[in-house]
Amino acid sequence: MEKTGILYLCATPIGNLGDVSARFLEVFRSVDIIAAEDTRQTIKIMNHFDIHKPLTSYHEHNKRQKGEYLCSLMLSGKSVALVSDAGTPAISDPGEDLVRMCIEKGIEVTSIPGPAALINALILSGLSTKRFSFEGFLSVNKRHRAEHLNQLKSDTHTLIFYEAPHKLPYTLDDMLKVFGDRRIALARELTKLHEEVKRTTLAEAAEFYKTEKPRGEYVIVVEGASECSEPENPWEGVEIKEHVDKYVSGGMSVKDAIKQAAADRGMPKREVYAVYHDV
């Protein structure tokens, strides 16, 4: 019986050709065919490293029939290298469908690890890397987008999003509305000449991009909910009168007790006065 082939998931640079690994080159030179999300990007790598292999496209719009074709090649013993337009295949691209198809058909799948924009953005962000959640691209559909953000509102993990530059200002505004102000990192053009990590807050970034045009590719890293939540207020649930009387019974004048209670609760003095004196 013929030996089944194999699918290699090959990570490609996210901007710097120097990030191509020795194993990547070995695999690219040995496989029977290379399947690429964007053949124009992949040709650049092949030309640079003088690699001559059959190249075919595999993308969102042909993934079903091309996936079947690639699987038939692998079932007949051929080996296939899959690459996305940049970074790790199967992350925010149709590679995950081909992986599933191979698993269903009993075809071996292995990976040649390398760059992934989300991991580089996370480790450069300065935010917690202990627990994080990759959220990919937000939907362009307003309702789905709002639902997605609302689901994440109290998530304590560091949140990572991909975004296209022209949508960045709207996304920052939407995030600010739902999450409130939080620390964020905007990682731009990673591994490229103009690499930049802006460590700022959602409010500041939303303001900045009202006038500044975003340029290049961005990853948005947002601080999780717990890290920026307000410390618990020990006076929560205590009536205003009881609150003021606690200070009065401790020896304070009523005037000073009202002033202190107002400060504790972050309320104007006159409001505390009005409640205390029933006016």
Binding site for ligand SAM (CB under 6 A): 14-15, 84, 86-88, 91-93, 116-118, 162-164, 187-192, 217-219
Judged by beta carbon, residue 93 or residue 240, the one nearer ligand SAM is 93
Dihedral over Cα of 186, 196, 20, 82: its sign: positive
Q: How far is CA 86 from CA 53, 57, 90, 146, 229, in A?
A: 19, 14, 11, 28, 36
CB of 83 to ligand SAM, least distance (A): 9
Judged by beta carbon, residue 88 or residue 260, the one nearer ligand SAM is 88
Rounded-to-integer distance, Cα 108 and Cα 106, Å: 6
| Short-list 7, 5, 9, 28, CA closest to 74 | 5
Cα 217 off chain centre by: 13
Judged by beta carbon, residue 67 or residue 114, the one nearer ligand SAM is 114
CB of 82 to ligand SAM, least distance (A): 11
CB of 219 to ligand SAM, least distance (A): 5
What residue number has its CB nearest to ligand SAM?
A: 87
Judged by beta carbon, residue 67 or residue 87, the one nearer ligand SAM is 87
State the DSSP H helix or E strand holding residue 211, giving kind and residue range, or none if neither.
Answer: helix 202-211
CB of 221 to ligand SAM, least distance (A): 11
